[in-house]
Structure 1
Amino acid sequence: MTPEDRFPGPEHPDSGPRHQPDLDVLPYGTYYEPDPNGGYSATGYEAETYSGYGGARYLEQHWPATGPEQGHTVHAQNGPHEQAGYEPTLPDHPSPAHGGHPGPGPQSDDPPTIELGPPLAEPGQPYHPYPAPGPDEPVGPLYVVGDVHGYLDELRTELRHQGLIDADGHWSAGRSRIWFLGDFTDRGPDGIGVIDLVMQLAAEAAAAGGYCRALMGNHELLFLGAARYGDEPVQSTAGTASFLAAWRLNGGQQSDLERLEAHHISWLSRLPAIALEDGHLLLHSDTTAYLEYGESIPEVNDAVHDLLADEGVDEWWDCFRRFTKRFAFRGDSGPTAVRELLDSYGGTRVVHGHSPIPYLTGAVHADDGMPPHVPGPYVYAEDLAVAMDGGVTMEGRLLVSRLPI
């Protein structure tokens, strides 16, 4: 984990701005500026976000570039901050302390689910796949959402601003298509609320002939690992740690773990790691680690799902570690790394979350305490990559954007 993935977030619900060290990362691309007539207003965001990040200078000094993958991985250690004897307890999922490792995959007593949607109201209700457009009916527009990290109110505001939900929080975009790029939980106040909203929208979009889908981010792997393995030790290059310790150090919110239910686990565990839509290769992390899991998109997704279903804690930890790497697309070697992924998986441009745009651009907190300037998605690596993590946890913004950019 890089430094910004080590520092804990505050105990929510009340979060607030915090001063950030100066950043010294040089920009390598340009911003996509949204329409100023309907664009972003910082009102309501400045006092609602939290920065849990260290400065980029610290990051670059302690995690120097090591080839196309910039940044080493560091693992959290058990420490006095941990609550002794804590055991996460989930419905129908035995805790590690009782001799069981509850799997994240579908359980035999789970209610049936629609694809990437919430549990159906009654067991046995028939499955309804997403309806295909008619022969003369075009598919709807495509949207992507960057890292949410538990900021439910900000997510609702941005979805409403884009016309994707109505004032009551229900799908209002017809046949539109939307992909969340992962990292629903941790650092922000209501990760489970974010997951519930996305699951709700998946069902409502499907009924309207559109779809709402999501990728698995490294924080999904971390959250599920904390729920399944708790304090069970894992062997890391930095010494013995545990998923629960790492999750807490990464801003894990106790309220999310307490509210996590079997249907959340089942849904999260089936999220794909990678997808291709309209020539856009959708990833959570700006890393080439996906190539280590397969030469095609189905191979990668199957490999990750098989690992989560059948492998042990060390294999799961290694998967989390690999997908926490970042900055592969930055700098002189960045375009080559992007092309390697595009050559393997298809598409003409990568769209990713994970690495906050203020880190990629070198945006700084002004002396007057204003948040970093994030006008929109960040296009870089010779226009081959689009970054969508607007840094909502570091007083940036939560990005929801229509593709292509």
Structure 2
Amino acid sequence: MTPEDRFPGPEHPDSGPRHQPDLDVLPYGTYYEPEPAPGYAGTPYDAETYSGYGGARYLEQHWPADGQTQGHTVHASEHAPAHATAFSPQDHPGYEPTLPDRPSPALQLPDQPSDRLPGRDDPPTIELGPPLPDPAAPSYPYPAPGPGEPPGPLYVVGDVHGYLDELLTELRHQGLVDADGHWAAGRSRIWFLGDFTDRGPDGIGVIDLVMQLAAEAAAAGGYCRALMGNHELLFLGAAKYGDEPVQSTAGTASFLAAWRLNGGQQHDLDRLQAHHISWLSRLPAIAIEDGHLLLHSDTTAYLEYGESIPDVNDAVHGLLADEGVDEWWDCFRRFTKRFAFRGDAGPMAVHELLDTYGGTRIVHGHSPIPYLTGAVHADDGTPPHIPGPYVYADDLAVAMDGGVTMEGRLLIARLPVN
């Protein structure tokens, strides 16, 4: 495991059903760096990236680079909030996190009876966000596509993790929003690959922006949609279950403890509202666009939830609506697995997903490119250089998590990536 996603319980070194190579066996791949957008003035990646408590940069400084945890303790730094607690992985099994006295969050997920879930004949994507209710809001008089007119260009956005300013900068760089952060992309299509919150300073601000862009894009004849990442499952679980224990084979933990351990920011939880919960809980887990199979996690665990895209999305939505804390925890654990597409067995794992769900190439987030390639921070502390998306597994997989939490880069790319 990388130091990004950690939670009490046994480690799962394999992301898929096959044996995975050791983490020092690097995949063969290449970076893709598109030409700079014309007229763009500025280099957002030269600026120092925010990295608060729970960020991968902090964790890396206090966690062995090879991911081994035995006998090592993560210590809180001067950046840690007062409620953060130290975590000692060597305490497993039976680790019981000690949390401060704090009322459990009162927010609950809305009831979603299974008969309200999308049926097998429904499209595997969900329209995000209601229309803008303010009649004074700006209008977007782009013409709707005519009969037989091809759709607009397709973009994907990697893991944001609360870095709202970096997201807005890159969206402007790509010409997708204007100077005020409103949709400026006409009939373009955008897919966010999940993980909006945790580690960065403004996860709720990121969610609000994506919901806003979804409404504005629809008015312009385009669309903005998003996938559910493992941090959405973790964030919603922390809001719904709080300190309620979950059973694992290595002891008892809770969603709230795991969320804090993985960079959860209390101000995001404090600002979480019912409409955020409703929107997040209905995000699809998997989608396909123009032959690109879009996933959050580089894992084959999706196969355990169905043999078609609608089946997987229905299964996840049904689990969030009807199942208990242990089933929810198990889903979070499965979608936290990673590295299934690395090494010699990687192309086989990709083909297993493509043969089941369709498409000719997988595009995913979740695993930061510096960990996929081994290009983590140098000894002198120099941040990793991430020129663009990383294409690997015999050109069958495109990684989009540029490692913004470890002073890398927040990636947005137009598909196809060649």
TM range (shorter): 0.7 to 0.9
Partner secondary structure for residue 168 of structure 1: coil
- Structure-2 change in CA distance of 1:36 and 1:60 (3 Å): farther
CA-CA distance at 1:120 after TM superposition = 5.6
Superposed counterparts of 1:5-404, under 5 Å: 5-6=5-6, 26-35=26-35, 41-49=43-51, 50=55, 51-54=57-60, 57-59=65-67, 77-80=95-98, 82-90=99-107, 93=108, 102-103=109-110, 105=112, 115-118=127-130, 121=133, 133-404=145-416
What TM-score, normalized by structure 1, do the two folds share?
Answer: 0.81
Q: How many residues align?
A: 353
1:33 deviates by: 1.9
Contact 1:52 1:187 in 2 (8 A): no
Of 332-341 and 234-243, more deviation after overlay is shown by 234-243
Task: Check whether the contact 1:286–1:326 (CA below 8 A) recurs between aligned residues.
Answer: yes
Q: Is the 8 A contact 1:287 1:327 kept in 2?
A: yes
Rounded to whole Å, the distance in 1 between the matches of 2:253 and 2:319 is: 20
- SS of the residue corresponding to residue 144 of structure 1 reads strand
Q: 1:375 to 1:213 in 2, by over 3 A?
A: same
Q: Is the 8 A contact 2:25 2:343 kept in 1?
A: no
The offset of 1:237, in angstroms, is 1.9
**Contact 1:77-1:242 at 8 Å conserved across structures:** no
Partners of 1:260 and 1:47 in 2: CA distance = 24
TM-score normalised by L of structure 2 = 0.79
**Is 1:229–1:244's contact at 8 Å kept on the other side of the alignment?**
yes
Moved more, 134-143 or 379-388: 134-143
Distance change (3 Å), C-alpha of 1:145 and 1:37: closer
Take 2:211 and 2:104, find their aligned partners in 1: how far apart are those partners? 27
Counterpart-to-counterpart distance in 1, 2:321 and 2:132: 23
Unaligned runs of 5+ in 1: 8-22, 63-73, 94-101, 107-113, 123-130
1:332-386 Cα distance to aligned partner (Å, 9 max, x none) = 1100000000000000000000000000011132344321010000000000000
3-state SS, counterpart of residue 156 of structure 2: strand
Q: Displacement, 1:211?
A: 0.1
CA distance in 1, matches of 2:45, 2:362: 31
Say whether the 8 Å CA contact 2:144–2:220 is kept in structure 1: no
* Equivalent-residue separation in structure 1 for 2:94 and 2:228 (angstroms): 21
Deviation per residue, 1:133-191 (Å, 9 max, x gap): 32242210000000000000000000000000000000000000000000000000000
Q: CA deviation at 1:58?
A: 2.4
Q: What CA deviation, in whole Å up to 9, does each residue of 1:201-229 have, x standing for no partner?
A: 00000000000000000000000000000
Q: Is the 2:37–2:174 contact (alpha carbons within 8 Å) kept by the matching residues of 1? A: no
Listed as ranges, the gaps of 5+ residues in structure 2 are 8-22, 71-91, 114-125, 135-142
Partner of 2:19: none
Mapped partners of 1:333, 1:77: distance in 2? 34
CA distance in 1, matches of 2:36, 2:173: 13
Give distance in 1, aligned partners of 2:144 and 2:236: 32
Opposite residue 35 of structure 1, the aligned amino acid is E
Distance 2:37 2:219 in 1: 32
Following the alignment from structure 2 to structure 1, what is the Cα–Cα distance between the partners of residues 173 and 37? 12
* Paired letter, 2:314: D
Rounded to whole Å, the distance in 1 between the matches of 2:246 and 2:185 is 44
Whole-Å separation in 2 of the counterparts to 1:32 and 1:56: 29
- SS across alignment from 1:222: helix
The CA distance in 1 between the partners of 2:323 and 2:211, in whole Å, is 26
Amino acid at match of 1:31: Y
Residues 45, 395 of structure 1: 8 Å contact kept: no
The alpha carbon displacement at 1:45 in A equals 3.4
Instruction: Sort the Cα spacing of 1:173 and 1:77 in 2 relative to 1 into closer, same or farther, 3 A.
Output: farther
For 1:142 and 1:75, the matched residues in 2 are separated by 46
